[in-house]
Amino acid sequence: MSKNRFTGEKNVLASYDYLDYFVSRALNPKFKSKQKLLRNRDSTSHLISLFALATSIQAKSILELGVRRGITTMPLLYAASLFEGTLDSVDIKKTKFVPPKSLRKHWRYHKQDSIGFLKKLPQDRSYDFVFIDDWHAYEHVKEEISLLSEHVRQDSLITLHDLMLHTSPEYNEDIMPGDDELYDGGPYRAVSALNRDEWEFATIPIMNGLTILRKLKPTVAN
C-alpha cells in the first residue's frame, strides 16, 4: 500500500487507497496535495462524511449536481461501486475528472444544466442519495429540490454544501451579502422555506456546512 497515513500522499488514487484519502482530508483539511486534482478545497473536509452517509444506506443510485474537478465525485463513485450501483454526475461545464479504470463502469457524466437534467428524468427514476453543490442561487436550488422531490423516497438522503457559507464558527443562517451566487438568500433560504411537515434537515457545522435533507412524506399528486 503506497503512502498516506495521513498525508505522506503519493499516488493515492492510483493505488486505490481511497479511504486513506477521504480520512486524511477530514483530519488535515488544509493539507496541500501535490496532485493538481486533489488540491484542498472547502468540500474536501466532507469527503468521508459523504462516503459514510452513502454507504450507510447502501446507496446504489447516486446523483451529484455540480462536479467541477471531481473532488466530491470520488467518495460518491466509490460508494456506488461497493453496491454495484451507479453515480450520475451533472455539470453544465466540462470536468477534468477522470475516474480510476476500476470504477468507470459505475459512472455516468452528463454535461448539461441540472434543471434540464432533472426535468427529463423518467418518472419512475428514483435516487437513494443526492449531493447538491452547483449554482447557489435561491431560485435555482429551490427548483432543484422541487424537481428532486419526485425522485426521492422517505429513505433517500439529499445532501447540500454551503448552506451556511462564511458563518464559521457560529454556523447560523445569515447569508453574506454581495455575492451573486447567493443572491436572494441562497441555498439556505431554499431549504429553510420547505414545509417542516414534509421535510427535515440538519447541518454538519464544518467548512461552510454539509446539510442532510430528508423527505418525511411521499409526494401527493395534484
Within a domain: 222:
no
Same domain, 35 and 66: no
Q: Terminal CA-to-CA distance of the chain, rounded, Å? A: 56
DSSP secondary structure code for residue 155 in this structure: E
Sign of CA dihedral 142, 144, 147, 150: negative
Contact 85, 60 (CB under 8 A): yes
Q: pLDDT value at position 41?
A: 57
pLDDT in tens, the chain (222 residues): 454 444 444 544 444 477 777 877 777 766 555 554 444 456 888 999 999 999 999 999 999 999 988 989 999 999 999 999 999 999 999 999 999 999 999 999 999 999 999 999 999 999 999 999 999 889 999 999 999 999 999 999 999 998 887 776 777 665 555 555 556 888 888 999 999 999 999 999 888 889 999 999 765 554
- Interatomic CA distance for residues 200 and 186, integer angstroms: 18
Same domain, 1 and 101: no
Domain extent, residue 24, equals: 1-40
Same domain, 175 and 209: yes
Amino acid of residue 22:
F
Same domain, 29 and 139: no
CA-based Rg of the chain, rounded to a whole angstrom? 17
Contact 141, 160 (CB under 8 A): yes
Same domain, 32 and 100: no
Q: pLDDT value at position 184?
A: 80
Q: pLDDT value at position 15?
A: 42
Residue 11 cell numbers, joined: 499516488
Contact 185, 173 (CB under 8 A): no
Same domain, 20 and 130: no
The C-alpha cell 423527505 sits at 215
Q: pLDDT value at position 120?
A: 98
Name the domain count of the chain. Answer: 2
Predicted structure pTM score = 0.84
Within a domain: 220:
no
Contact 62, 82 (CB under 8 A): no
